[in-house]
Structures are given as structure tokens and as C-alpha cells.
Chain A
Amino acid sequence: MAGTDAFVEADNAEAIITRIEHKSRKIESLLKQSKPVEALKTALEGSPPNTRDERCKSANWIVVHRALMAIKDVDGMFSSLDPEYYDILMKYLYRGLSTGDRPTCDQCLRIHEKLTERAGLGCILRSLADTVNTV
């Protein structure tokens, strides 16, 4: 059983990485049209839910990072982002904060403050408590 699981994982990983590459192309085009919020939405949806493959997670993180750094107006972003994306955004924010890279951390801290005001402490606790779907 575990053997077939691993096999399905490897197959899926390739498919997921191809999907992530498609996504990143779409995001580049959205960013060129100066639609950073749309780009972020595309990056966040379809995040690998149950893969344990580090490469998929890293690939998706790179894509989300690109979209996050392009955001200049944080308040405007929240007015057009649906609440269902708050939890997954919080997980990516914590991943960004752990990198230690100064501009990333600055941006993530800014968004984190506004997101906590919007979504509350429950959002933070859900990202801490979810050990199954890590980002």
C-alpha cells in the first residue's frame, strides 16, 4: 500500500510541477498587466494540498513569493481577496518570514499585520495547528 502511494506521489509530483509552471507563466502575464491581486489569487489557488514532495512545495512557494513581492497596495489587495484564501496566505506568510531575506520579511510583516486585523487570531492558529497540509 505504501509502495503504491509512493508511486502515485512521484507521478503526481511531475504533473503538479507542470501545473505550477503553467501557473507561473499565467502569473507573469498578469503581473505585466499590473494585476497583482489576480496574480496572487492564481498563485494561491490549487496549492498542492496533500503532496509531501518538497520540490512541489518549493516550486509553489517560488510562484507565490513572486506574486507577493509584486503587491504594493496591501489594503486594496484585501478588499478584493476572498476570505477562503486567508488561511493559505497565512501559511505562505510564515514560510516567507522564515526565509530571513530582508525585503521578503518586510513585505510579509506588512501583510501579516493587515491579515491578522482582517482574519483574526483563528487564522494564525489554524496555520500553526495544521500539521497535515503544510506549505
Chain B
Amino acid sequence: MANTLRLYLTCIRNTLEAAMCLQNFPCQEVERHNKPEVELKTSPELLLNPVVICRNEAEKCLIETSINSLRISLKVKQADELENILTKKFLRFLSMRAEAFQVLRRKPVQCLRLSNVPLACEKTLGYDISFLITNYHCEEMQKHKLIDFIVQFMEDIDKEISELKMSVNTRGRLVATEFLKQFI
């Protein structure tokens, strides 16, 4: 169990080290604009193959690279309804404060839409949180530290969610005990 986690994180780390080869590239369509190409996907020659690394059916990681930016989307393991809600709330809390994290994206990447009809499974197919790293981040910050941050984030998120779940259960039990004492 712990072994697959280690292999999964090693695989992601190696892929990120190879994929984080970013350079400045001004926009080809509009003068004087500089946009992260992985978000717009206008020119296919600037994009590399997106890669999905799955640990199992519930956890996966999508890495899309382009010439000047790299997008990492994570789907975190959610075993039951409670973890589902906790993950959603916690990651929303982080995404709202994306400015402080610099490399965080405000909205997680959704699944590819082929038409405008909303799919029932859309919520489960999309990802929970996304990072957007541009060449400017690579210039200001060290590449291996960025990768360490992402991998550390993935390790810590599981611990955080289990801690939150435990505290919710403990609080619930205490409240129920106190409340039901009056009926004894």
C-alpha cells in the first residue's frame, strides 16, 4: 500500500522533472501578448502529449505541458461521502487563496467536453485541484523546489483529509453523547 504510493510519487516526480522544460514564448497570434499556451491550446505545435498517471481507479494525475507552461491536475482519493465533502471544501478553500500559492489554479480542470450537453458523470470525471506553472515561476523559483512542493502537497493532502475526517467524527460523537445524556 505504502509501496504503491512511493512508486506513484516517484513516477510523477520523474515525469515532472522531464516535463518542466519551460521557456518564454510570446503569443503568436496577438502582438505583445504572452499567454500560457497550455491553457489556450491554440497551436498544436507548441503542445506536448498530455499524460495521465493513475495509481488506481480513484486517484490520478494529469500532466499537460506546453512550451511556456505546465498544468498538473490531481484527483484525490475519496472513499466515502464524508471524505467527498471534506475534500471539496478543503480544496475550494485553498483554491480561493490561489494568489498566496502562486502556482495554484483557481479552478480545477474539468473533463473534456465534446458537446455542450452536461454529462451526469462530469463531477466524477473531472479533477479536484490544478496547478499552473509558467516559465516565470521557473525563473523566479528553483525547479526542483517546485517539484518538491507538488509532491509534498500530494503526500500531505491525504493526511489532512484523514485528520479532518477524524476530527469531524470525534466532534459528532461528543455532541451526540452530550445531547443524548438528557434522555438517559
Chain A interface (Cβ within 8 Å of chain B)?
Answer: 94, 97-102, 105-106, 109-110, 112-113, 116, 121-122, 124-125, 127-131, 134
Chain A residues touching B, majority SS = helix
Given A124-B14, A125-B19, A125-B21: A109 touches B44 (CB 8 Å cut-off): no
Complex-state Cα separation, A8 to B19, whole angstroms: 35
Report chain A residues within 8 Å CB of B52: 94, 97-98, 100
Complex-state Cα separation, A94 to B14, whole angstroms: 13
Q: What are 8 A-B interface contacts by the 8 Å CB criterion?
A: A105-B54, A109-B4, A121-B18, A125-B18, A125-B19, A128-B15, A128-B51, A130-B49
Report chain A residues within 8 Å CB of B10: 109, 113
Chain B interface (Cβ within 8 Å of chain A)?
Answer: 4, 7-8, 10-11, 14-15, 17-19, 21, 44, 47-49, 51-57, 60, 65
Nearest 6 interchain pairs by C-beta: A124-B18, A98-B52, A109-B7, A100-B54, A121-B18, A125-B18
Given A109-B8, A121-B14, A128-B19: A98 touches B49 (CB 8 Å cut-off): no
Closest residue of A by beta carbon distance from B50: A128
Whether B17 lies near A121 (C-beta < 8 A) is: yes
A135 to chain B, nearest CB (A): 10
How many residue pairs link A and B with beta carbons under 8 A? The number is 69
Whether B56 lies near A100 (C-beta < 8 A) is: yes
B60 to chain A, nearest CB (A): 6
Complex-state Cα separation, A105 to B4, whole angstroms: 9
Whether A97 lies near B11 (C-beta < 8 A) is: yes
Given A112-B14, A113-B10, A128-B48: A105 touches B55 (CB 8 Å cut-off): yes
B45 to chain A, nearest CB (A): 8
Closest residue of A by beta carbon distance from B15: A124
Given A105-B54, A106-B4, A128-B19: A100 touches B11 (CB 8 Å cut-off): no
Complex-state Cα separation, A69 to B64, whole angstroms: 27
Closest residue of A by beta carbon distance from B51: A94
Complex-state Cα separation, A94 to B54, whole angstroms: 10
Whether B18 lies near A113 (C-beta < 8 A) is: no
Closest residue of A by beta carbon distance from B63: A128
Complex-state Cα separation, A102 to B53, whole angstroms: 12
Closest residue of A by beta carbon distance from B65: A128
Which single member of A102, A113, A116, A128 contacts B56 (CB below 8 Å)? A102
Whether B57 lies near A128 (C-beta < 8 A) is: no
A111 to chain B, nearest CB (A): 10
Report chain B residues within 8 Å CB of A101: 57
A24 to chain B, nearest CB (A): 25
